[in-house]
Amino acid sequence: MLVWSVASQKGGVGKTTTVASLAGWMQKEHLRVLVIDTDPHASLTSYLGFEDVNLEHNLYELYATPNLDRDFVLNAITRTNFQGLDLIASSMTLATIDRKLSGRVGVGRILANALKLIEDCYDIVIIDCPPVLGALMVNALFASTLVLVPTQTEFLALKGLEGMIRTFKIMNQVDNDEGIDYTIIPTMFDKRTKASVKSLDILYENYQNRVWKSCIPIDTKFRESSARRVPLPIMDAFSRGSLAYRELFTKLIAYELDKHPHLVTPASASILSNDDEDEVVSEDVSLNKADIVAKSVADMVSLNTTKGAD
């Protein structure tokens, strides 16, 4: 089972959209996917159709209960309307978690331990983080094989990225295991604006091997999809935004297959061969695709997030 966190200390950069879109593709590929909403604002929970954010079972109970067992964790999971896509919902009470957990030993590893108990139940887990460095984000980062850092292609967001990278460095100093592996995902790229093009260049230049050599374009359909409570790949698989997330999804699986082959289930690995067979041949779509990227096709193939390259 792979575990990915989507995290940034900057708000509004596309974290929740990234989780919903990757999960949407996984659901379409019949993978068993669990998403975890660790943001007390519960955007992901409501994106997936749950208006009442105080569902009976939610993430708070995992943090509040010492000595978790497998049944307890399974019980905290809510099925969504999309078969195969399950959710551990957020709740407003999560906002109090830092206070609640203060002083408890091993406080940063609660989520990692909980996920270990159910590691045979899912192909992939994706965790949506709040834009705040605290116990919720630290738990998500420690539980992950890979952290995705969506970064809006605008100057202020680049500043926010520096804060996140400092956090990774601090965490790597205290964690003796593998350390935190991360990939920056440029989001909301608008090729018509100079600021967007320039900041994408800065990202490629400054973060080289740590940045995905493609980007998620601006697509108004994301707002429509969250308003309709349906992940965009399920609502409209051929929109520009969907196609970009499809490409990201396959690159990430290929990367994990190289890096953590023992954690990639056969079902997840199989999407790579399906992808060759199902190559979309539609003139419209390929035109859109060409619009999406600012860099050459050759650039897009590379997803090399070699550790220590930053």
Ligand X SMILES: Nc1ncnc2c1ncn2[C@@H]1O[C@H](COP(=O)(O)OP(=O)(O)OP(=O)(O)O)[C@@H](O)[C@H]1O
Note the residues at the interface with ligand X (CB under 6 A): 11-17, 39, 43, 131, 187-188, 216, 218-219, 222-223, 226, 241
Shortest separation between residue 189's beta carbon and ligand X, angstroms = 8
C-beta of 109 vs 229, nearer to Mg ion: 229
In contact, 231 and 23? CB cutoff 8 Å: yes
Asked if 246 is part of the footprint of Mg ion (rule: CB under 5 A), the reply reads no
Asked if 250 is part of the footprint of Mg ion (rule: CB under 5 A), the reply reads no
In contact, 33 and 26? CB cutoff 8 Å: yes
Asked if 43 is part of the footprint of Mg ion (rule: CB under 5 A), the reply reads yes
Q: How far apart are CA 7 and CA 54, in angstroms?
A: 23
43-51, 135-143, 169-177, 281-289 -> range binding Mg ion (CB under 5 A):
43-51
| Percent helix / strand / coil, the chain, rounded to 5 | 50, 10, 35
Asked if 45 is part of the footprint of Mg ion (rule: CB under 5 A), the reply reads no
C-beta of 239 vs 268, nearer to ligand X: 239
- Residues numbered 124-183 forming contacts with Mg ion, rule: CB under 5 A: none
Grouping H, G, I as helix, E, B as strand and the rest as coil, residue 34 is strand
- Residues numbered 1-20 forming contacts with Mg ion, rule: CB under 5 A: 15-16
40-48, 115-123, 143-151, 293-301 -> range binding Mg ion (CB under 5 A):
40-48
Q: How far apart are CA 9 and CA 7, in angstroms?
A: 7
* Residue with the two structure tokens 């596309």: 14
39-47, 110-118, 152-160, 292-300 -> range binding Mg ion (CB under 5 A):
39-47
Q: Kindly tell me the sign of the dihedral angle through the C-alpha atoms of 165, 171, 176, 181.
A: negative
Q: In what order do the strands lie in the sheet with 124-128?
A: 78-79, 85-88, 33-37, 124-128, 2-6, 146-152, 182-187
C-beta of 17 vs 91, nearer to ligand X: 17
Shortest separation between residue 213's beta carbon and Mg ion, angstroms = 25
C-beta of 198 vs 223, nearer to ligand X: 223
Asked if 226 is part of the footprint of Mg ion (rule: CB under 5 A), the reply reads no
C-beta of 89 vs 253, nearer to Mg ion: 89
Q: How far apart are CA 32 and CA 34, in angstroms?
A: 7
Shortest separation between residue 53's beta carbon and ligand X, angstroms = 14
Shortest separation between residue 301's beta carbon and Mg ion, angstroms = 29
Tokens of 25: 């593709």
Q: At what angle do helices 194-207 and 155-174 cross, to 10 degrees?
A: 20
Reported in sequence order, the residue ranges of 38-179 that DSSP labels E, i.e. its strands, are 78-79, 85-88, 124-128, 146-152
| Contacted entry of ligand X, Mg ion, none for residue 11, CB cut-off 5 to 8 Å set by kind | ligand X
Q: Of 67, 64, 87, nearest to 77 (Cα)?
A: 87
Asked if 21 is part of the footprint of Mg ion (rule: CB under 5 A), the reply reads no
Shortest separation between residue 19's beta carbon and ligand X, angstroms = 8
Q: How far apart are CA 251 and CA 256, in angstroms?
A: 9
Q: Which residues bind Mg ion (CB under 5 A)?
A: 15-16, 43
